[in-house]
Structure 1
Amino acid sequence: MIGKVWPLVIAAVSLGIDAYVLAGVLPDMADSLSTTAGAIGMGVTAFTAAYAVAGPFLSRRLAGRSTRTALLVALGAFNLGNLATALAPTLGVFLASRVVAGAGAGVLTAVATATAGALVADHERGRAMALVPFGLSTGTVAGVPLGMLIGDLVGWRGTMGFVVLIGVLSMLALALRSGTLPQLPASRRSDGSAVLRNPRVAGGIALSFILGLASLGLYTYLLPMADENGLHGWGFALVWAWGVGGVLGSGLIGRPLDALGPRRLMPVVPAFLLASFLAVWLFDHPAAWVIATAVWGASGWISVPVLQQALIRDHTQQAMTVVAFQMAAMYLGSAAGSALGSALLSGGVTADALPGWAALVAAGGLALAVLITRLTPRYAPTTAPDAPATRTSTPQRTPADSPCP
């Protein structure tokens, strides 16, 4: 299966690097462009805002004619924006370049995830779609430290050049990929926002925002939290524990997701996230923190494919739109979580208290996940077929498998 979707995974790796690499070179960028770290931080806001708008409202239009063309155009915009960032002479050019890169990333995530699901049989869809968040988490874990190392050696412009290189390689891989890509249901006239009228989809998108706010938002303050708990020398290990947990979680969740279905896994994800927050809030032992941050990273990244499968299970024709809204909500939640953490710290809350606040948010997410579970139809499990006919079959409901009331 990986042979079918590997160009999409490489593209996701480049996006994962770009989404978080600025944090590691932010001071150097501020000095180079003669501005403040806060002004450079606005680049993250510009990227996230463009991502949130472009994914839901442009992906359907671009995919209307050709899936390959849509992917290449999105990657082209993403790479062009990052190249402009690398060459930016002023703050204005830098901020504009982040808008272009964010727009390309938003379209890329939606189209790539829907394409991965459409390339395989029903019984492999969970594994295929989970490979996109696997690429995102791998880019974050492996690419961001490498980008920071490059920044130390040749400056922040070299770091952005590294992001462009990975993006160009993904374009070449996609352009040279043999075989055709499936045509995705799309429309140039509709923005797809009608899916938001479905209570389960709307609730799932809200849950993505909540989990992004709690998980990715709190991650911003992992090192200050560790310092407040006397774990100053453990910062590097904790960052890697979070990242390795995310890579392993997103890499291994595919088979359980196909076997058990998203309905059973939906409440488990925020439950483990809540448990990890409580652990780092209540304990200050290094081993407890390493284990908890690994579970935290795994739960955060696992939530992406689990939610996607729950929301598109009987909305396959709108998969691209649903994924676009879901990922946009997650990134917006991440930005909101970072801003909320900053506001709490400015208001006198100590860093070691932030996990307690995040636990409250995660508890709300758990309650919402239980509600979405009750709204999610039960389906007979899809299994690997002996007969080719089932590759194109769709899951069938039985009378006992009707939605829960």
Structure 2
Amino acid sequence: MWNLLRNWYQEKFSDPQAVTLALILMVGFAIIYFYGKLITPLLVAVVLAYMLEWPVAQMANRGLPRSVAVSLVLLVFVGAMMMFCLIALPQIWNQGISLARELPDMIAWAQSKVLTLPQQYPDVISEKQMQELMQNLNARILAWAQQVLQVSLGSLIDLVALAVYAILVPLLLFFFLKDKRELLSSFSRFVPSNRELAKQVWTEMNGQIVNYIRGKAIEILIIGVASYLTFLFMDLRYAALLGLAVGLSVLIPYIGATVITIPVALVGLFQWGLTPQFGYLLLAYGIIQMLDGNVLVPILFSEAVNLHPVAIIVSVLIFGGLWGFWGVFFAIPLATLVKAVVNAWPSVDLMEEQSS
């Protein structure tokens, strides 16, 4: 056993560059895992910097000073965020409050319909089984409501931190965009000299992260707006809230679209019942999801993501469990990072071939 471990270590870590890459990865993962909450403003600023780097670079390539380009892009971005907060956010907030008030009636109505199933299909399910199912479901709903209440109270406590983030994030974003080269040069001084392998992985990952974050922002915007306009055209209640939820659901591949189907179907079923209008809603929602998965995603992420769906789902579960929201958001880039490291990692046979 010891010889097996020693041979594996000599094969994988005989190259100093491999040791450097492993050290960088371990330090980076440890910092995010143990201090993720403390550096949340930094992570948010980094994500926004990746998203806004493209328009800044385009303006700089056309001869505009980078500081001026950064100022213009940030001015437009902050203005768009303020318009969203002043126009769309109050409507979404009001719809959320109305939905929370009406949710118990929706659940009671759905339960009354479900309880009639034993009478319609006595050979499939008994009344006792249905009652036990309803009891378990009510217990889960109550536990979920308590968790939501705790999160809401915690959010009230974090309002001060949110106000601080509102100041820190734009400042960090401005300096990340303006002094990008200087910051990267300063950071490279803390990395060991044997970093060619780490540089190779970083070069590959940097382009993919840029494409992923920019593509994900575009996907959220397109799917959210398309869903809102569809729900509004069909006169579905809570159109703005559900449209925002559908747009944000694309952050979690495959799982998000499945989960958000439940509130969309529940609201439509409570509003129209089992009518053709409800069928049209499900058809329109299915078309949006189909266009997203078969048209929009291949266009936006054709070069950024080349992973099997099973690998994506596993990465969402693993990294989401480790780092929560940020793990889910960066699940695909992290999975791509693992793939890039595995492909670039040197072995004894490879080094012998290169030396010969």
TM-score w.r.t. the length of structure 1 is: 0.22
Q: Which has the larger radius of gyration?
A: 2
TM-score w.r.t. the length of structure 2 is: 0.25
